[in-house]
Every structure is written in structure tokens, then in C-alpha cells.
Amino acid sequence: MTSKTSQYLFLAVVTFFILILIAPVQAAEYVSVKKDGVNIRSGPSTSDKVVWQVFESFPLKVVERKGQWAHVEDFEGDNGWIYETLISSQKTVIVKVDTANMRAGSSTGDPVIATVKKGVVFDVVQMKGDWVKVNYKDELTGWMHNSLLWPDNPL
């Protein structure tokens, strides 16, 4: 190999690795379910077995898309397929710990206004540092620490 060819090859390899390192990391896509009783299936077809059902606003992570189907995963790592018309971009979170405190403000010094059980779903209102302002069915609004919820950093 000539010296000039070696230089071009070296530059090509270096450029390739630089592009990989600086390429933006694609953020995970999170969606929520549009209505109650939606089937999650073992494959991307209505003829595939129903493996579980989800309720309105349930948050899901999109793993991949195939045609009009989305392969999704929930907060416990369960996965399956859902028809795309049954999901929305509405930002919701689910409590991932056995019990969690909802507070009046974004600090552990703020009073607890509710104790929430695992599996309760909230609409996301805003984020402030590591705290998420959440709303439950337009009846209860408060702050919860991000570490208690899934997905992390929902906005």
C-alpha cells in the first residue's frame, strides 16, 4: 500500500469514528394508549395472540415499528404489539415503586398531599429538575420525584 493510500484509509477510518461519536443519540419514543381495553398482541397482526390488555393513558415505550403496528414495552419489561391508531403522543407516567409520595411542591420539604400505589398513571404537566408535576384525572395535581416514575424524564 502506498503512503498516500494509507493516509486516505486512515482519514476515512478516523472520520467514520468521529461521525459515530458525534451522531445524535435518538431518544426513546414513549406513547400512551388512547382507550381502555386495548389488546397487546404477540405479533403485528390481529390474528396474533392477545398477550395482555392495557387501559387508557397507559405509557408504553416504542421499540420498533412495522407497517401500522408498534412493538412496545411497558414499565415492567413486558412487550408486545399494538396497532398505531390506538396510541397517542400524550405524555403520561406510571408509578414504578410500591408506594410513592405526591407532594404540594417540588421538594421533599413540601407537604405530602397523597400516597400513591404502584401502577397508577398520571398525565405529565411539567418538569422542574428531578421533579415531575403530575395530574390525575383532573382531580389531583402534585409533584413526584422522577425516580419514582416511568418513563424517566418524560418531557
- What pLDDT sits at residue 104? 98
Q: 75 and 47, same structural domain? A: yes
Based on the domain organization, do 80 and 121 belong to the same domain?
no
Asked if residue 124 lies in contact with residue 154, where contact means CB atoms within 8 angstroms, the answer is yes
Q: Which of 90, 105, 140 is the last residue of a domain?
A: 90
- 61 occurs within a structural domain: yes
Domain end among 74, 90, 106: 90
Length of the chain as a residue count = 155
Number of domains in the chain: 2
Residue with the three cell numbers 422542574: 128
Which residue has better confidence, 51 or 23?
Answer: 51
Phi/psi at 39 (5° precision): -80, 135
Q: Each residue of 101-137: pLDDT tens digit?
A: 999 999 999 999 999 999 999 999 999 999 999 999 9
Is residue 15 pLDDT above 70, yes or no? no
58 and 98 share a domain?
Answer: no
Residues 85 and 109 in one domain: no
- Place 3 in a pLDDT band, splitting at 50, 70 and 90: low
Q: What is the pLDDT of residue 12?
A: 45
Q: Which of 68, 90, 112 delimits the end of a domain?
A: 90
**CATH number where 113 lies:** 2.30.30.40
| 129 and 97 part of one domain | yes
Give yes or no: residues 84 and 109 share one domain.
Answer: no
Q: Are residues 105 and 145 in the same domain?
A: yes
pLDDT at res. 23: 43
45-102 per-position pLDDT tens digit = 999 999 999 999 999 999 999 999 999 999 999 999 999 999 999 999 999 999 999 9
pLDDT of residue 60: 98
Domain span at residue 108 reads 93-150
The pLDDT assigned to 114 comes to 97
* Domain co-membership, 37 together with 86: yes
Does 115 fall in a domain?
Answer: yes
